[in-house]
């Protein structure tokens, strides 16, 4: 097992890169609502006629890290880190020790600031974000979906077990299951209504398209530094394996799920697609939005899942907003309707606890592994992160502004989940946007959002 020393340096602390007063020589980055100089999210992009390259978003542009590496403007750990970013995925960079990613972020921040002598050099590496196609940021070999929202777990539990909604193990360990990495797709990929076995009105199983397609508002969590098999990651070391986050929609076919999930849990009802936003907001960028985990009554103390740093600042205040726009709303030129908004700070389990628990048996993690946080819901009804909760399993149809109703998603619907952070200082940055268009099981025309392809 890794050292149990509770070393808070594994938490990324505030430094000069988070200063809200920092200004860049790139004018569009100053007070940018998504990608100011304090964010610097990482991803992979492709221009027409070129191979995929690693990049960093800044304002309305992308820094081509392959081109930057050819100029080699950094020294020390930052230079070493930059050398890992000349390929078509972020995996090699993600696998580095935190000292490298911190040094890289600091060096990049310094050359982007107003007055930096490297301005001309960096300008020559900029690519207009409107002229690129975003790619998967890393190779994702493993995907685990957790169940960290106690509000979601309780709401869903009430639908099936009114007298005992929360199962006894929930507050003792982070519940999760291994998902399907092969069907993880980027924002903008259409969702073809899946076929599956479900019960008909006569309570007999039949094969057909799901009638209860649902979205799930989740945070995507990327593993950075890998771990060794049979060597569990302690809570004191868990943050050193956390690379960054994106937004995630873990689609569900509720009727298929209801029939198949006993006794082993979800299978085909969850494996047809999981959608993520293209940019990874790094753990370093999230430092200003750290907070202490929400206190809950009757939470048992589990020694293996506690540390001083986690108690002080293990949670993240990441806002998560979900909207729906139906086909008729688009025809009538009506804006999307907000379905819910909540914060990841309400999660019962933190990222460090997910990482540590995942390895408790000795399971090894690899750079680029993806966790889903599970559906994120808050303490009030308007913070529910799925239609399953908002409509109480379909019993209370959702009333839309144009007179339409929804219990579950219909063909033509577009779901958008947007994440962002705001600090008392006024600092705001994007966590990403994931947008998906629901198609019928007979269609598979391509949905493409220019705005999303560059955000």
Residues serving a catalytic function are 152
Q: Which residues contact 154 (CB under 8 A, 6 or more apart)?
A: 165, 166
Q: Which of 35, 25, 51 is nearest to 281 (CA)?
A: 35
**178 torsion bin: left (phi>0), alpha (psi -120 to 50), beta (else):** beta
The H or E element containing residue 450 is helix 450-453
Task: Round to whole Å and give the CA distance between 24 and 351.
Answer: 31
Quick check: bond before 263 cis, omega within 30? Answer: yes
Alpha helices by DSSP H, listed for 217-370, are 235-238, 254-260, 308-313, 327-331, 351-358
Please check whether residue 185 is in contact with residue 452, taking contact to mean a CB–CB distance below 8 angstroms: no
Task: Round to whole Å and give the CA distance between 1 and 231.
Answer: 5
Question: For 415, which DSSP code?
Answer: E
Question: For 241, which DSSP code?
Answer: G
Q: Is residue 63 classed as helix, strand or coil in its secondary structure? A: strand
Alpha helices by DSSP H, listed for 15-131, are 65-71, 76-82, 91-94, 98-112, 119-123
């Amino acid at each position: 097992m890794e050292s149990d020393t509770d070393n808070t340096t594994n938490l990324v602390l505030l430094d000069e890169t988070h200063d809200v007063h920092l200004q860049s020589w790139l004018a569009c980055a100053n007070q940018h609502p998504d990608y100011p100089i304090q964010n610097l999210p990482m991803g992979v992009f492709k221009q027409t006629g070129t191979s995929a390259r690693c990049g960093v978003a800044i304002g309305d542009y992308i820094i081509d890290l392959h081109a930057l590496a050819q100029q080699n403007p950094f020294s020390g750990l930052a230079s070493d880190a930059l050398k890992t970013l000349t390929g078509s995925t972020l995996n090699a960079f993600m696998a580095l020790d935190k000292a490298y990613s911190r040094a890289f972020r600091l060096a990049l921040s310094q050359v982007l600031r107003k007055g930096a002598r490297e301005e001309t050099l960096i300008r020559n590496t900029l690519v207009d974000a409107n002229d690129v196609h975003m790619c998967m940021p890393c190779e994702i070999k493993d995907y685990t979906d957790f169940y960290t929202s106690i509000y979601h777990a309780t709401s869903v539990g009430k639908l099936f077990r009114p007298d005992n909604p929360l199962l006894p193990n929930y507050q003792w360990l982070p519940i999760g299951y291994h998902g399907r990495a092969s069907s993880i797709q980027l924002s903008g990929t259409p969702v073809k209504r899946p076929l599956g076995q479900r019960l008909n009105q006569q309570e007999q199983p039949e094969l057909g398209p799901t009638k209860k397609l649902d979205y799930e508002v989740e945070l995507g969590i990327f593993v950075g530094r890998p771990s060794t098999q049979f060597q569990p990651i302690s809570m004191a070391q868990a943050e050193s394996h956390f690379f960054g986050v994106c937004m995630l929609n873990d689609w569900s076919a509720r009727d298929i799920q209801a029939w198949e999930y006993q006794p082993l849990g979800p299978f085909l009802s969850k494996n047809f697609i999981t959608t993520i936003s293209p940019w990874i907001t790094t753990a370093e960028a999230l430092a200003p939005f750290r907070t202490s985990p929400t206190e809950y009554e009757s939470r048992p103390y589990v020694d293996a899942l506690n540390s001083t740093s986690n108690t002080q600042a293990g949670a993240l205040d990441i806002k998560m907003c979900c909207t729906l726009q139906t086909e008729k709303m688009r025809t009538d030129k009506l804006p999307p309707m907000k379905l819910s908004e909540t914060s990841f700070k309400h999660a019962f389990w933190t990222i460090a606890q997910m990482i540590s628990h995942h390895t408790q048996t000795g399971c090894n993690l690899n750079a680029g592994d993806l966790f889903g946080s599970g559906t994120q819901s808050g303490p009030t009804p308007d913070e529910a992160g799925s239609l399953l909760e908002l409509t109480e399993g379909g019993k209370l149809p959702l009333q839309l502004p144009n007179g339409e109703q929804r219990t579950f998603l219909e063909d033509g619907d577009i779901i958008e989940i947007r994440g962002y952070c705001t600090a008392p200082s006024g600092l705001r940055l994007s966590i990403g946007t994931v947008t998906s268009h629901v198609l019928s099981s007979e269609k598979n025309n391509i949905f493409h959002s220019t705005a999303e392809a560059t955000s």
